[in-house]
Structure 1
């Protein structure tokens, strides 16, 4: 089929004017080329879906499955169709040189952009494949894909302008250097995000699925995405917080990964004991029935008795010599309680300690690590421990400080 085939039909057989025959011939040829190109595109797409999908399914690697998922072969079919159309333009438009000149540039620009989309689908495939590997599972791969695409689109736009204006790339790159300051201002956030992504990866400060807390942005939850512009956090109340990527290296935040990977989650909470409820124990027998203290009381009373006897201490005054206090005995009781608690990690540090006195009383702090690190379970364990502590305080003739209420004033 020649490009003059329809011209002869319109001119010789139908006796249409020369100019009309030329345009009708062009329109007919374009329709045939477009129809042929579309049919080729559909055939390639059909073959890709029917045969390539089966081949990818049978292979052991998932890379070819990801190629299909990210439409790599579909983009190849589009490029082939456009190349076919572009190669036929000089034949179809041989009598329209000006039209051919501009249409050839436009089609070349479209092919350039489709090539960029093809490269993008390859990059997404590589990203998805690397995401399946353990060493890359929690790395911010999206950031690298995005920065590469930004650079690629910038190159694509430069090439497009070069094709449309028929100017050399060198002139455009020279002009680009002139506007570099403006470009740096426009892409400031992108550049900062890219730098932050590299530092985050190198320093391993944040990974996907890390639990982070950042009060400045009201973020308290798990990282679900790290990209060039932002870090997406799904908070525990199911809200989503977007944090600028650069903020993770310029501002402070808390990453709970080390706790998650450790043997326990820290419990660090205190209660306030009234100072005037602390006293020497005169009758130790009332505490001997507490099972957790029975062995300790037997040993300590014998030790104290021998000390006072050796040093001839006058015990007619209780303060003389060595004595037990209800507060000290209570701390020992809590140590023993934590030691036998099934949810406290015995291999990590745990203790009951007395902090500096305050105007509201003497702080008694529990410092331990729960074996269960899940937030809800951790809160239940801590609540159970302190429920027991609050209920145990009266057994040692101690009082917990709390501000008086209206009811307290009425009772007095």
Structure 2
């Protein structure tokens, strides 16, 4: 049986002794590879992972999040197999050439994967720093990965065809137009990311508002080609990175960093309720603690002015007089300045806007001492609750369209008037 096998191999000029040496060499290579695999993966990598699990340092956990050490171990295994192939196999062996080709491909692939893991660790660690948060890390890392992938693809191809990578690079110039077309979005995204970073226009965590794309919320990710925004209703909007350069958007980062959020809301006042204050109304408003200094000062100022100009006060349109609308505006300004949750070091005013057919618009313009949404809405609501409640003290009315209750009231008054008219005529 053994003799017949030797005769069959002899027909192809293959000696049995050569096969025996080849089998011994391959067995030795496999044995050493298995031993190294067990030592590295079951020994070194497992020991390092246990140490990292016990550690509280963030960078320890980041190193194992992307299989960095496992890929390094596999890379070392490939290098060791290549060294063994050169040691144990003859130079003219076809098996050696095939094995070295596979080893070279293995080394290129796991070098690429190791660099990918290293970049992911770098992104994780830098993302926790202030500098990293101000940079489009995801886009930069993805750009580097694309460059590494292109280099690895060239190396892969050159190994398979047995040609130098320089020859492939020389022919790559003719494909520049195709490459530009294929990688158009990544290139535009990379340029946009650099501009966003250099000009400090946007970073992860910023509140972005871009109505064109329906985005209104926090930026959760800036990648090479897209920016992800988590809207306030928890939906995710994806925006092309280059759109942030070509189109306009609003970044609320300045508001957050200032520590104050603007209240800019108006109330419409019925113009027919505006009038001069009588002495009784002045005395009534003079009892308001916030308004008392203003009333006393204005009464003295107006009295002195009218006396100096010999104003005939028998006619109310002569001289100067206090109005309920002006006193209301002065009260609101003092109320805001006394409010503990309103910033006094930022713009604060109560102003009268241009009137319209809906009424006279009185606007409150100030800043809260918090940027938290819920607290901001509570403060704003409290201010306007108080505003609506005190309007009646100034004999002012809110301007609003007639409601069903108003129409019923008018109908009842009309019916009562008609009944009285019939009684009087009867």
C-alpha distance in 2 between matches for 1:407 and 1:31: 98
Query: How do residues 397-412 of structure 1 correspond to structure 2 at under 5 angstroms?
Result: 397-412=395-410
2:235 counterpart residue number: 239
What residue ranges of structure 2 are gaps of 5+ in the alignment?
Answer: 411-426
C-alpha distance in 1 between matches for 2:59 and 2:5: 60
**SS of residue paired to 2:255:** helix
C-alpha distance in 1 between matches for 2:25 and 2:392: 100
2:314 counterpart residue number: 316
Per mean C-alpha deviation after superposition, the further-off stretch among 394-403 and 27-36 is 27-36
User: 1:23 Cα shift?
Assistant: 7.0
The correspondence for 1:252, drawn from 242, 248, 251, is 248
Query: How do residues 294-373 of structure 1 correspond to structure 2 at under 5 angstroms?
Result: 294-373=292-371
Could you say if the C-alpha distance between residues 27 and 280 of structure 1 is closer, same or farther in structure 2, counting changes exceeding 3 Å?
farther
User: 1:11 Cα shift?
Assistant: 4.8
2:114 counterpart residue number: 118
Could you say if the C-alpha distance between residues 348 and 75 of structure 1 is closer, same or farther in structure 2, counting changes exceeding 3 Å?
same
Could you say if the C-alpha distance between residues 25 and 322 of structure 1 is closer, same or farther in structure 2, counting changes exceeding 3 Å?
same
CA displacement, residues 236-267 of structure 1 (integer Å, 9 cap, x when unaligned): 22222222211221211111111111131110
C-alpha distance in 2 between matches for 1:91 and 1:295: 100
C-alpha distance in 2 between matches for 1:29 and 1:17: 23
1:285 counterpart residue number: 283
Matched-pair contact (CA < 8 Å) for 2:45–2:70? no
**SS of residue paired to 2:290:** helix
Could you say if the C-alpha distance between residues 23 and 237 of structure 1 is closer, same or farther in structure 2, counting changes exceeding 3 Å?
farther
TM-score by length of 1: 0.88
2:379 counterpart residue number: 381
What residue ranges of structure 1 are gaps of 5+ in the alignment?
Answer: 1-9
User: 1:93 Cα shift?
Assistant: 6.8
Matched-pair contact (CA < 8 Å) for 1:138–1:209? no
Per mean C-alpha deviation after superposition, the further-off stretch among 356-365 and 402-411 is 402-411
Per mean C-alpha deviation after superposition, the further-off stretch among 285-294 and 256-265 is 285-294
The correspondence for 2:176, drawn from 151, 165, 180, is 180
User: 1:30 Cα shift?
Assistant: 4.2
1:3 counterpart residue number: none
1:195 counterpart residue number: 191
1:151 aligns with 2:147: yes
Matched-pair contact (CA < 8 Å) for 2:220–2:230? yes
Q: May I ask how many residue pairs the two structures share in their alignment?
A: 402
Query: How do residues 258-269 of structure 1 correspond to structure 2 at under 5 angstroms?
Result: 258-269=254-265
C-alpha distance in 2 between matches for 1:92 and 1:111: 19
**SS of residue paired to 1:365:** strand
TM-score by length of 2: 0.86
**SS of residue paired to 2:224:** coil
User: 1:96 Cα shift?
Assistant: 8.7
